[in-house]
Structure 1
């Protein structure tokens, strides 16, 4: 759920030693945007610490969260490959720090550094695979299952999400989320005063397996 890429930080360490003029540092506070949708990319950002969310804002103003970024995740590489403006927004969930790499330098490295090119291709393939899997279970399973799965994954990674972020990740309205929360509270699965699970992760996994048997 939270994507990380520690291998990329090894490459950054090498750049810091050999091409320090191409690498900068930039800190962001919670809620601040790193990347704006449709803007032209001048820098590639690589997460050093903290947590960010990547999301698309639709024409009706609704946001749809694509993924969460953790340590080592990269932002802006896809746009440099396609030559188009940014597909999405990226905003800090927590205070975070990043490495900021000049776009021209990164593009040159991508063309000449086989290790970097392989790493980026692997990452894009993983993103495609995970996006397809997520789309499939959101279509096949009921909302309660998708919400429970999100709670299960977030508890594994100790990720605290706001109600708005949960709704945006599941691509539903707050009203639909509230109905699903009410159903799960009636089953004594989540806290009556919040949306935190009150059963263990093992019990939560068993509930998810029950949904699997019904499909």
Structure 2
């Protein structure tokens, strides 16, 4: 069992593993949708990691704040640090630098 926290309106459907396997093997439309979704996620992650690697941490935080103004009140700092691939300590240092500017 997993825990989900949505930051926007979301619909979650719970199905058993056997049902999921049946859907994959027997329903071409579902299988195609799943493959498209996975491909989209891989593309998004590749772009995100590329952006994170080519910009400073402070630039990334400013970009996130400009794109999602309420992000720091909606997401735990630890989750944001994990998203950026850094430690919580590094995140706090960078946030402090940004506030001083």
Structure 1 or 2: more strand by fraction: 1
- 2:46 counterpart residue number: 132
Question: How far 1:112 sits from its partner (Å)?
Answer: 1.5
Question: How far 1:118 sits from its partner (Å)?
Answer: 1.2
Change in Cα spacing, 1:125 to 1:110, as seen in structure 2 (3 Å) is same
Written as runs of structure 1 = structure 2, the 5 A alignment for 1:10-159 is 34=2, 51=6, 71-72=10-11, 98-155=12-69
Alignment partner of 2:81 out of 167, 171, 184: 167
2:23, 2:30 within 8 Å by CA — same for their partners in 1? yes
1:147, 1:170 within 8 Å by CA — same for their partners in 2? no
State the structure with bigger RCO (CA 8 A, min sep 6), 1 or 2.
1
- 1:181 counterpart residue number: 95
TM-score by length of 1: 0.41
| Displaced runs of 4 or more, over 3 A | 156-159
1:154, 1:160 within 8 Å by CA — same for their partners in 2? no
- 1:60 counterpart residue number: none
2:65, 2:71 within 8 Å by CA — same for their partners in 1? no
Written as runs of structure 1 = structure 2, the 5 A alignment for 1:197-212 is none
Question: How far 1:70 sits from its partner (Å)?
Answer: 6.6
> Runs of 5+ in structure 1 lacking a partner?
1-32, 36-46, 53-68, 73-97, 188-215
Change in Cα spacing, 1:70 to 1:121, as seen in structure 2 (3 Å) is farther
Question: How far 1:119 sits from its partner (Å)?
Answer: 0.7
